[in-house]
Each structure stands twice: as structure tokens, then as C-alpha cells.
Amino acid sequence: MNNTVIFYLPLGLEYGGQVYRKGSMHLATTADELAVQTSDAAGMNPRHRDLELLARVIDELDGLNPITSEILENLYEADFLYLQLMYKNFNGETETQPVISCPVCTKEFTVSLERLYEDMEIYKQEPVK
């Protein structure tokens, strides 16, 4: 069983003057869940709880580690939502993978969240000289 998944953030985490996109996440353990549930910082805010949980299960982002909730507070909303979906899918909290229909041929197919933003070549920018 593979207990780690590679992901690619749609927009990327801007932190310390760099943009981080490729990361890895491990399956959540009971210790991960318990630590977040007993954390005073998470309190009653479910979004902060999710942020802390993601900080525990994300192993690295393009070599950046450790990942903390303070670092993840810099995520764009699209990336935060993507990581929440990734976490739920990877940890078996979703019953099915998303099914979408082609707008041209109407054929339905399943989307793999793990590889959704893997090919980011069209978004990569050349360094400004």
C-alpha cells in the first residue's frame, strides 16, 4: 500500500520569495487527528483545524520542510481547497472520485485528484532578467 501521494498546487505557495508547487502528503494517522482535535489553536474553527491537519500530513513542498500552519496560511484559497479535496480523497473520506462530462462529446470520465495539476508546464514563467 502506498501511504504517500505527490501533488501539484494549482497556483503555488508563495513563501520566502519563492513559489512552491510540488509536494508530498502522507496518509493521516490517528496521532495526526488526535493532535489537531486537542489543539487549542484549532478551537472551534473548522478551517483552522483543516490547516493544522494539512500541516501535519504534508511532508514537504519542493524541498521546503517542515511545513507549519503558519506557512500554509500563505496559500491561495484555490490551493487550500485543492489540498482539502486531496486529503479527503487520499484518506478515503470521499465515496467517489469526481466524474465530469466533456462539454463537446458529453463523454463522462473520472478525474484523478492526485494528478490534476501535475502538468503545469503551461503555467511556468520564465525568470525576469
Q: Between vectors from CA 51 to CA 45 and to CA 56, what angle results, nearest 5°?
A: 130
Condensed to tens digits (0 to 9), the pLDDT of residues 6-23 reads 999 999 999 999 999 999
Of the candidates 87, 84, 83, 55, the residue with the CA atom closest to the CA atom of residue 69: 55
How sure is the predictor about 86, in pLDDT bands with cuts at 50, 70 and 90? confident
- Give, for 35, the enclosing helix (H) or strand (E): helix 30-37
Q: Work out the number of other CB atoms within 10 angstroms of the CB of residue 49.
A: 18
15 vs 74: CA distance, rounded Å: 7
pTM: 0.70
Look at residue 25 and tell me whether its pLDDT is greater than 90. yes
Asked whether residue 128 is assigned to any structural domain, the reply reads no
54 vs 76: CA distance, rounded Å: 14
Asked whether residue 70 is assigned to any structural domain, the reply reads yes
Of the candidates 120, 100, 95, the residue with the CA atom closest to the CA atom of residue 110: 100
Number of structural domains (the chain) is: 1
Report the pLDDT averaged over residues 103-123: 65
User: Which long-range CB contacts under 8 A does 81-86 form with residues at least 24 apart?
Assistant: 82/7, 82/9, 82/10, 82/116, 82/117, 83/7, 83/9, 83/25, 83/54, 83/58, 84/50, 84/54, 85/113, 86/5, 86/7, 86/25, 86/113, 86/114
Q: Which domain holds residue 61?
A: 4-123
Report the pLDDT averaged over residues 36-40: 76
